[in-house]
Structure 1
């Protein structure tokens, strides 16, 4: 009797499992999905890769990833700010939000995504998160992000002042993130995005100035280079743009700029060890960023009402530089360490000082260089 009951239980479990994994046919007649809500994103994925990212880890990937931050961190647990979090308000109310002081430059991302919002039946919040997840797959070493569907469209713009800036103190940055629901460790983990970041506004008359010497790779090099002693600012300028949050760079001669906030977070006693832990640990950095981005992409949302469509996110390109190295011309004597944990032993790149590639007009998107 017990034996028959056990068999029946196993059979029932198998049927339930089969039902849970049953796929639906999408209206395009080509694709299938675990949920019909995922179907609209197949065409969107192809459209983004072909007509925006062009299957490259480009400036457009950075701009799309940046929107997830500027959209999501507008949320406030205390009610000090009225933003709804990851709801797409920066795209729906771009004429308002891109004019906020700390959102300057985000109009490149909103302008790029706006046509996709009109071509596809998706919400603005879903589009922002999906574009970032898809774009990041073109960057060697990036993690595969979760993607949930069902964010309602924002009904009002976020409030100015909710986004911390690179000129802010560590106290201010951590307090604003805490109000949005993030720990100090999660702040540092999200900054792995700066491994593929650029600045379009801080350095005058230059576009897409990189934050590290491997601007097209999602790797730990960024966490190393921020710990190096600064020497100057790029492009033969005499002073950093303090109002824009710039500080001396260790690789100024090679065209690399550094944010004051990155410099400070890497050396603050509350965040230095978390920062240092990701130097030369690609796996840890990827996992830390993946889990922190899960939180950022859903901030302000009722996750129980969202549908998991992560199956649409391809596996990213493997890391081409899994180990951090001291850039040519630098060494361990230039490290400025606050955390007492042992620092990894790293090799040094051979040859001349690292040269960061760029077009003659200063654009880091080499595929678009004028001939």
Structure 2
């Protein structure tokens, strides 16, 4: 290259680098201790500190986290091109007297009441707060991905119609049709169910509140995709309830919908693909959650404030069979590939304690 051409190239590179630096320059927020690439994101830092301390019990991955994560879904899935609903717009808080009365939203009134007080305290829309709290809450769970968060949802205009939230006793066909109506593929449905790795039930069987869906509550790992594939042998509480089927572990609750999706030809291979692949589960859950958080919204009108979401701790455990289980206890459902070969934990048969109330 001639010297003149090289000088021009270097000048262009230097100009491009300066332009790139200018684009990524952070502003100092009014609190004097935080910075953001967009000043509009500064309003989130005091909310972050408040909810970590006063909603999530000092940054725990506990009951309020799984209830907040549940709320992100129940608010956002309230959307249909034909039936109405604003999607991830906060209507479940704004019109709580209507939406918390829906059967599928049973028990969600408690987290709605807790979150409503924060919405009233800060200058933030209910839709933004629900998705922000969900992303922050997940960050408290070791092994979770750092979720994206976009700011700028306008206030909800109306309540969501009833019967848009899938229920655990719905058939796979019904569940997939509901998600398809809202714009989600079967693969994305399964990816969203990674949330069940940190979930617990208070209302499927009300005799045993805080019953986890897998043996590692509070840790975002692939165990739920392994354990749902195990043959069920018992119920954790007073017997079969609508939406519940037998679980393989003492103290663990299995949803009928999880059981069926893990064994249906339309979803079984996707389900199995997460069983021993933490990075794939993180990646696809993160993408599906971003899509969920934008249902009914205009992304071009929003501000990316993902940098405010804390980075979760890395996972320190490995995929395994629960103690007392063997590979022969796996009910193989994917016709395209064998289930990953796993070893069982040592010791007495695994029993899962309830998630303590916060």
Confirm or deny a common fold (TM above 0.5).
yes
User: In 2, Cα distance between the equivalents of 1:365 and 1:64?
Assistant: 16
Q: Could you say which residue in structure 2 is the equivalent of 1:16?
A: 19
1:28 to 28, 31, 39: 31
User: In 2, Cα distance between the equivalents of 1:214 and 1:335?
Assistant: 18
1:3 positional shift: 4.5
Deviations 1:113-161 (A, max 9, x none): 1111111111111111111111111111111101111111111111101
1:41 positional shift: 0.3
Calculate the TM-score normalised by the size of structure 1: 0.92
Q: Could you say which residue in structure 2 is the equivalent of 1:43?
A: 46
2:129 to 127, 130, 136: 127
- Tell me the SS of whatever aligns to 2:174: helix
Deviations 1:210-243 (A, max 9, x none): 11111111111100110111112113x3x3002x
Counterparts of 1:235-250 in structure 2 under 5 Å? 235=237, 237=238, 239-242=239-242, 245-250=243-248
1:326 to 321, 330, 340: 321
Q: Which runs of 5+ in 2 are unaligned?
A: none
Q: Could you say which residue in structure 2 is the equivalent of 1:67?
A: 71
1:163 aligns with 2:154: no
1:30 positional shift: 2.8
Assess if the C-alpha contact under 8 Å between 2:332 and 2:338 holds in 1: no
Calculate the TM-score normalised by the size of structure 2: 0.95
Assess if the C-alpha contact under 8 Å between 1:217 and 1:320 holds in 2: no
Assess if the C-alpha contact under 8 Å between 2:168 and 2:255 holds in 1: yes
User: In 1, Cα distance between the equivalents of 2:206 and 2:8?
Assistant: 75
Moved more, 130-139 or 270-279: 130-139
User: In 2, Cα distance between the equivalents of 1:365 and 1:147?
Assistant: 29
User: In 2, Cα distance between the equivalents of 1:204 and 1:151?
Assistant: 35
1:142 to 138, 141, 144: 144
1:205 positional shift: 2.6
Q: Could you say which residue in structure 2 is the equivalent of 1:361?
A: none
Number of residue pairs matched by the alignment: 353
Q: Could you say which residue in structure 2 is the equivalent of 1:234?
A: 236
User: In 2, Cα distance between the equivalents of 1:126 and 1:260?
Assistant: 31
1:292 aligns with 2:292: no
1:274 to 249, 270, 273: 270
- Tell me the SS of whatever aligns to 1:39: helix
Assess if the C-alpha contact under 8 Å between 2:89 and 2:126 holds in 1: yes
Q: Which runs of 5+ in 1 are unaligned?
A: 359-363
Once superposed, which parts of structure 1, at least 4 consecutive aligned residues long, lie more than 6 Å away?
A: none
User: In 2, Cα distance between the equivalents of 1:26 and 1:76?
Assistant: 39
User: In 2, Cα distance between the equivalents of 1:317 and 1:108?
Assistant: 28
